[in-house]
Amino acid sequence: MDDLLAVNPWGRKAFKQGSTPIAMEFQVNRELHPYLVTAAGKSKFIWLPKARNGRVRAAFREEGRASLFLDIVKEVAVCGRDNEWDNVFGYSPEGLMKAVEHLRYYGISEVEVLIPAKGFGFGFESPGVTVSKTKWVPEGMAVAVPKDRNCLGFVADLPSGSFVSVVHNPSRGLAVAVRDEHL
């Protein structure tokens, strides 16, 4: 699978005909904070340090989700560096192994590494790790995520092209091996 998050398509019957809400609330596990949610307006995302009563609110974006996954990875990586989550590593076999070990440290045993369509230019093997080529990961980056994407969050699409996204557990559920020019 080359999606960063679980993908949940919503049919037209989910909302009144022709309408898209501005935002929706979603129930989340209170222990999986902080949360990264889609935002309305000029901001792409908002970081929520805690959930209010076990819920977070995310806004619908209208422009489609072509670059959503890469934007999420960059946002989590920058925040991870700033907050010393130790989830960002150099782009090398050693850095990629550290990214995988980061997830395993938090009990995520089934890890998938998302790599560029052309591969990553070096050898890498680790028992229990699936490697998947993607269209959206640029050369010089590899992203380690849980094989079960529900552990990391979701994106929900409407037929109109609008989407909403909630990422939970990003400090423990996403690690990156990356060249500095991508952040």
pLDDT at residue 56 in the model: 96
Task: Indicate whether 35 pLDDT > 90.
Answer: yes
- CB under 8 Å to 72, separation ≥6 — which residues? 4, 5, 36, 45, 165, 167
pLDDT at residue 15 in the model: 56
Asked if 4 and 73 touch (Cβ cutoff 8 Å), the reply is yes
Task: Indicate whether 91 pLDDT > 90.
Answer: yes
**For the residues 73-97, what does the mean pLDDT come to?**
95
Q: Count CA atoms closer than 13 A to 11's CA, side-chain side.
A: 1
Give the CA distances from residue 73 to residues 63, 127, 132, in Å, rounded to whole numbers and listed in that order: 19, 24, 16
pLDDT confidence band for 126 (50 / 70 / 90): confident
pLDDT at residue 50 in the model: 94
Q: What is the mean pLDDT of the chain?
A: 89
Least confident of 8-12, 78-82, 153-157, 169-173: 8-12
Asked if 61 and 38 touch (Cβ cutoff 8 Å), the reply is yes
Task: Indicate whether 181 pLDDT > 60.
Answer: yes
